[in-house]
Amino acid sequence: MFLSVSGLAKSFGENEVLKNIDFDVKKGEVVSIIGPSGSGKTTMLRCFNGLEQPDKGIYQFEDGFSLTFAEKVRKQDILRLSRKSGMVFQSYNLFPHKTALQNVMEGPVIVQRRNKTEARNEAVELLEKVGLQEKIDLYPHQLSGGQQQRVGIARALALKPELLLFDEPTSALDPELIGDVLKVMKDLANENWTMIIVTHEIQFAAEVSDKVLFMDGGYIIEQGNPDEVLKNPKEERTKRFLQRILNPT
């Protein structure tokens, strides 16, 4: 098991955002998280790379690294957690004053202190991988939303993470740009990257996921393979959500 999560909880003041979350991720598995806005999906994702710190819960990784959040967590342990993952954000979060190539090189060179020539060569390869070989010297404002998001994916891959985290990566895109980003993500799934994806793209989740979690009100209401959760959900809340998404009136 790559990662086991148990008893995860997070509040902001009086607002309990995550409540007793338990689930596992296997190596090479794609886990999609679906659910209504405000159900805690993004907060949970941010807890997996150190952007938010849970109030309670235990992470157990297959390499023996574990974190218990009921006690004070050391800064170096949060840093180790953040180094395990690469995050692709909803709003791209690219450096506006850096080219696509420089954005992808930034983490390896500045954070990981890797050789600049090596980092540049890898960045060029990654931009080719996401179909942007002609755009490496362009700045974010010169790229479409879909192209910016693909730079974001290349930037996450450049860190050579064990886990890729996607926070609704297509929700800010125009419909005609979504397909290019989803294709890159499907390719990564086929390469057996371990991925946790927060998404509203139900068809995409059905195609690429090994496991789907449905969240509502800070809880995981239902989890299982795509057929179980998306085609034959047991819980009434899951059924209602899917009905709204798939058959909007």
pLDDT for position 249:
61
Distances (CA, A) of 113 to 106, 116, 152: 10, 8, 20
At residue 84's C-alpha, the angle toward residues 79 and 90, to 5°, is 95
Q: Yes or no: say if 78 and 50 are a contact pair by the CB < 8 Å rule.
A: yes
The domains of the chain are located at 1-84+162-249, 88-161
Q: How many alpha carbons fall within 13 Å on the CB side of residue 65?
A: 14
1-84+162-249: what fold?
A: Rossmann fold (3.40.50)
Distances (CA, A) of 186 to 50, 89, 152, 227: 26, 17, 16, 18
Q: Identify which of 152, 192, 156, 186 has the alpha carbon closest to the alpha carbon of residue 169.
A: 152
CA distance 186 to 206: 11
Q: What is the full per-residue pLDDT of the chain (249 aa) written as tens digits?
A: 899 999 999 999 999 999 999 999 999 999 999 999 999 999 999 999 999 999 999 999 999 999 999 878 899 999 999 999 999 999 888 999 999 999 999 999 998 889 999 999 999 999 999 999 999 999 999 999 999 999 999 999 999 999 999 999 998 898 888 999 999 999 999 999 999 999 999 999 999 999 999 999 999 999 999 999 999 999 999 999 999 988 766
CA distance 79 to 67: 12
